Structure 1
Amino acid sequence: MWLQNNNNNPKGGKGNGLVAVAVDKDKRSQYALKWAADSLLSRGQTIILIHVTTSSSSTGSNALVCNISSSIASHHRDNQLDNSTNDLFLTFRCYCTRKHIQCLDVLLEDTDVVKAITEYVSYAAIDNLVLGASSRHGFIRFKSSNTASSITKGTPDFCTVYVISKGKISTVRSASRPAPHASPLLKHIQNLNKDNGGNQPEIIPYRRSNFRGSFVYVIQIYIFFLLICSQINRPSFHHINQILVQREI
């Protein structure tokens, strides 16, 4: 969703910035999404839902971007995500449907929640980040106020951060400049309006996962090469070659 950078009146901006909401299994996330839908978005626009799952086995930050508008994507999505994560996204997705708002689900996997969010905001050039806050002016997802402060301070200065408490703005840190580059999420947002069956979840390695992504690419090329070789060695293939040679003679 594109919005203008209007720090004083978030409801009036349209056309320049991606809007994302960090979601988790708590009511504060619901307040944050509701506020974002009412204040930053219009009917038919897209919001990015970001959830972080911690995994000790993760060797780098990965992002699973799910285009939930496709039934085929939903099938692959079930194979990638566990039941609890599926249920989490389903709750927010149902609300977006009732509000006639598109949603793009982003699952981050990292042992450090704060670092995962701040780095992904920078990578995806997100202009508006909405977070839920507890009644004690801290993030319910992040127990200490020091951690909450780190999220706001760690977010790049082109992103406006809204902290929402019980449906109202608790704190806001305004952006000081526009995003420096186009977001790689734009193609996923465009695909939300297409029902061509090709919008499958995509694992996007970034920053600390460059070597890992290259290794996966090499493996995919190797498997493709083996498949081609197996087709060439099939008897039916040689039989066709013999027929063609006889015809030429």
Structure 2
Amino acid sequence: MTAMTGKSVVVVGGSRGFGLGVVRAARAAGARVTTVARTSGLAGDATDEAFADQVLAGTRPELLVVTAGAVPEMRPLSGHTWESFSVGWHQDVRIAFGWLRAALRLPLPAGARVVVFGSAAELRGSPLSGGYAGAKATVRMITGYAAAEGRDLGIGMTAVLPGLTPGTGVGETAIRAYAEASGVSRDEFAGRLTATADSVGAAVLGLPASGLADAYLIGADGLRPLSG
């Protein structure tokens, strides 16, 4: 997305990680950025559908970016309880549902864009993170449902799928767990990864203004569209 000067941008989960990367990129591009987080900006629970309705009605953003979600507990399947395994559905999926629904029901203005963060884990698997990969696959799926409805309203919607990224809550948790499982140090494992929260944030702002793909893999080398 270009020409952001003066545009209204809302970032759900914008106080840290990928969300903070998007906030920095949007502010640098001249946008008016509203951060939604539990304890800063517009403070509230991102899983609360009424809160999502209230925020969007008050800001009417031209770009809505949803990055909020739970940090999964990292352990093998046999070490999970159903509660720890399913946290992604109760958090990540519910958050995506609530904000997509709010964007459609308001609706956001024609020409608005909605970007929802999934994860490349849905394509590659993540055996230590319980149901995280499956929850993120569901996030991508319901974003596609919303995108089909949004076309008639002139609203573009897509999912972005970042890989493991140092400096993010999920990334650091997973890096430590998979480094230990691989018998290497955290720094050695992280050194193989080239994306940063800021590079991902900049890539989100580089999404096209029209003709969005169903989803994009996103990393240090930019965006790669996916279909289906």
Which TM-score tier does this pair reach, normalised by the shorter chain?
A: 0.3 to 0.5
- TM-score of the two chains, using structure 1 as the length reference: 0.32
- Larger relative CO (CA 8 A, sep 6+): 1 or 2? 1
Structure whose CA Rg is larger? 1
